[in-house]
């Protein structure tokens, strides 16, 4: 098959949701429809379960599972679908943000009873900013929940989206009768027996037909007629271009647990979802159908087996064809590298592949050369943009607790940072190391992994930082910057890319600093024009 036809048949996406909305269940059902797994329960949940073990041990368990679920690929109607896993736990938000740089679209899962929750708001905001096309799936219709119109309103208000329902529920919870598919003009009747997994699809060209009364009772049919009339009056009609530009979000209703409404979602998804999209680099926009291969690292998994210090770097292919045993340029190191055993991911299995295409993810074995955000090309000197660091929420000094193991500690810290577990800052004044994390749990993870994987011991010391701000040295006024650096020297540090960072100890300090030095430009993310 030609490069273009391979690109056309690929859909790479992520499912995002607040924990417990049903992401794992939906993923599993999509795999079942794709024939990639034979039974439910095969996809292990990557969520952090509270209870039996302490939280950070649970993270270790999850790390094992998440290699297997990082990419779940399957074929459906001749389309190659790659689902990228996104952790729902908020302490891993940065992992999810990074994965979102590698998806071409997303499905947002919302619990019909809980509505829009905190994590959903954050993740959807990132997708909106990046103009990622989104489809919304409202889940758990077999349970009592919010009124459909109320929920659509909530989605528009809280998530700042413009929705267009593609299906509409008939009843809900105890009275849930099924779903009218506006897109396909048919009705699926809900049997409530998930073992059957077979839906009865009845074509309804005309909602006013008396047959509908017999099918779902007259009162349910009347309500449906009114609801659908309101939908057509109130919501914009589906338009693929608006969806692809992230200006319109189609909404589906269903119950993942009962495999209900999932086929409709998948059928529509393969029809409308984008094929691999172009990506901006520091020099130009790169198109997927260019002949030369290029890709970037969005995730690294390290030390799954402590006996072998190997890591798996996950590359999203942006353009051209990736071939096994072919030298490619690692742009940051300006070094050619060959990969003899690149892995592709099929459902839960890894497999060595000879060729991969744009939209695909390959896992490359790595001995410590890669960092998140690195670019591989066929020789062109360019770096992909769009994997910025955000300001961490928690900061601590990290100190060596075993003087004989200082080398191991440095190596461990450096490798864990490459993996993106946390961010390391070096204070300008005294060279002390500061670790910044999104969640408090990561400090325990780092301590545990340093000890178990590197034989090093660390202790933390509190440091009061409210936000890390990246200083735009280029665009700031030179005189004002010099004064700012002199006065604030105790609060300045360098990040992993040697960029200057200002630590503000409170939002008040931040405000004061900004009003005192208005020509010193501060950013909350590490990547700016």
Q: Which residues bind ligand G4P (CB under 6 A)?
A: 17, 19-25, 45, 47, 88, 139-140, 142-143, 255-258
Which C-beta is closer to ligand G4P: that of 258 or that of 391? 258
Q: What are phi and psi of 222, to 5 degrees?
A: -65, -45
b/e map of 243-261 (b: 16 or more CB within 10 Å)? bbebebbbbbbbbbbbbbb
> Minimum distance between the CB of residue 438 and ligand G4P, rounded to whole angstroms?
18
> Minimum distance between the CB of residue 29 and ligand G4P, rounded to whole angstroms?
9
> Minimum distance between the CB of residue 62 and ligand G4P, rounded to whole angstroms?
12
CB atoms within 10 A of CB 273: 23
Which C-beta is closer to ligand G4P: that of 195 or that of 486? 195
> Minimum distance between the CB of residue 467 and ligand G4P, rounded to whole angstroms?
29
Do residues 116 and 110 lie in contact, with contact meaning Cβ atoms separated by under 8 Å? yes
Which residues make Cβ contacts (< 8 Å) with residue 94, sequence separation at least 6? Answer: 389, 390, 420, 438
> Minimum distance between the CB of residue 256 and ligand G4P, rounded to whole angstroms?
4
Smallest CA-to-CA distance from 520 within 489, 491, 486, 478 is with 478
> Minimum distance between the CB of residue 215 and ligand G4P, rounded to whole angstroms?
23
Which C-beta is closer to ligand G4P: that of 69 or that of 513? 69
Which C-beta is closer to ligand G4P: that of 119 or that of 294? 119
Separation of alpha carbons 8 and 275, rounded Å: 6
> Minimum distance between the CB of residue 14 and ligand G4P, rounded to whole angstroms?
13
Which C-beta is closer to ligand G4P: that of 58 or that of 419? 58
Do residues 169 and 223 lie in contact, with contact meaning Cβ atoms separated by under 8 Å? no
Which C-beta is closer to ligand G4P: that of 172 or that of 413? 172
Which C-beta is closer to ligand G4P: that of 28 or that of 227? 28
Q: Residue 284 is encoded by which pair of tokens?
A: 């130009």
Q: Residue 26 is encoded by which pair of tokens?
A: 């939906």
Which residues make Cβ contacts (< 8 Å) with residue 41, sequence separation at least 6? Answer: 28
Q: Residue 272 is encoded by which pair of tokens?
A: 């409308």
DSSP 102: S
Q: At what angle do helices 148-159 and 118-129 cross, to 10 degrees?
A: 60
> Minimum distance between the CB of residue 67 and ligand G4P, rounded to whole angstroms?
17
Which C-beta is closer to ligand G4P: that of 181 or that of 415? 181
CB atoms within 10 A of CB 226: 10
DSSP one-letter string for 372-421: TT-EEESS----B---PPBPPSEEEEEEES-GGGHHHHHHHHHHHHHHTS
Which C-beta is closer to ligand G4P: that of 26 or that of 446? 26
Helix, strand, coil share (%) of the chain residues, nearest 5: 30, 30, 40
> Minimum distance between the CB of residue 319 and ligand G4P, rounded to whole angstroms?
33
Q: Residue 210 is encoded by which pair of tokens?
A: 């008396």
């Amino acid at each position: 098959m030609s490069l273009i036809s391979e690109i056309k048949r690929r859909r790479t996406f992520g499912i995002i949701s607040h924990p417990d909305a049903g992401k794992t269940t939906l993923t599993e059902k999509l795999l079942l429809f794709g024939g990639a797994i034979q039974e439910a329960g095969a996809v292990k949940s990557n969520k952090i379960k509270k209870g039996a073990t302490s939280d950070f041990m649970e993270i270790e368990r999850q790390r094992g599972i998440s290699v297997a679920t990082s990419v779940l690929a399957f074929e459906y109607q001749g389309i190659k679908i790659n689902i990228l896993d996104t952790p729902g736990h908020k302490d891993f938000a940065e992992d999810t943000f990074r994965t979102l740089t590698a998806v071409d679209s997303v499905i947002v899962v919302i619990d019909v009873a809980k509505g829009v929750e905190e994590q959903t708001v954050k993740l959807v905001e990132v997708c909106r900013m990046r103009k990622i096309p989104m489809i919304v799936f409202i889940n758990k219709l077999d349970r009592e929940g919010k009124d459909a119109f109320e929920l659509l309103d909530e989605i528009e208000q809280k998530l700042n989206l413009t929705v267009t329902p593609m299906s509409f529920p008939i009843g809900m919870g105890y009275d849930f009768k099924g779903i009218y598919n506006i897109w396909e003009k048919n009705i699926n009747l809900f049997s409530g027996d998930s073992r059957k997994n077979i839906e009865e699809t009845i074509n309804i060209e005309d909602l006013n037909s008396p047959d509908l009364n017999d099918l779902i009772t007259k009162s349910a049919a009347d309500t449906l007629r009114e609801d659908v009339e309101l939908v057509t009056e109130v919501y914009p009609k589906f338009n693929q271009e608006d969806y692809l530009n992230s200006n319109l979000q189609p909404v589906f209703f269903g119950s993942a647990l009962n495999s209900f409404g999932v086929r409709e979602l998948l059928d529509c998804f393969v029809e409308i979802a984008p094929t691999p999209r172009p990506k901006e680099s520091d020099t130009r926009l790169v198109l997927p159908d260019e002949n030369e291969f290029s890709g970037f690292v969005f995730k690294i998994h390290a030390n799954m087996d402590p006996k072998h210090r190997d890591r798996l770097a996950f590359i999203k292919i942006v353009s051209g064809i990736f071939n096994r045993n072919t030298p490619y340029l690692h742009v940051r190191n300006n070094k050619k590298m060959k990969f003899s055993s690149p892995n592709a991911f099929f459902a839960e299995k890894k497999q060595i592949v000879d060729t991969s295409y744009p939209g695909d993810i390959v896992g490359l074995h790595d001995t410590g050369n890669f960092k998140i955000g690195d670019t591989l090309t066929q020789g062109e000197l360019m770096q992909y943009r769009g994997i910025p660091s955000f300001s961490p929420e928690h900061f601590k000094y990290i100190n060596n607790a075993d003087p004989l193991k200082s080398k191991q500690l440095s190596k461990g810290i450096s490798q864990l940072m490459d993996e993106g577990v946390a961010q390391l800052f070096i204070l300008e004044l005294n060279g002390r190391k500061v670790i910044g994390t999104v969640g408090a749990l990561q400090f325990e993870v780092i301590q545990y992994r340093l000890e178990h994987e590197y034989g090093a011991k660390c202790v933390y010391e509190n440091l009061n930082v409210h936000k890390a701000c990246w200083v735009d040295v280029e665009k700031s006024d030179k005189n004002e910057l010099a004064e700012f650096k002199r006065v604030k020297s105790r609060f300045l540090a360098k990040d992993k890319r040697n960029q200057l960072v200002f630590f503000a100890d409170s939002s008040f300090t931040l405000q004061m600093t900004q009003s005192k030095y208005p020509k010193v430009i501060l950013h909350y993310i590490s990547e700016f024009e």
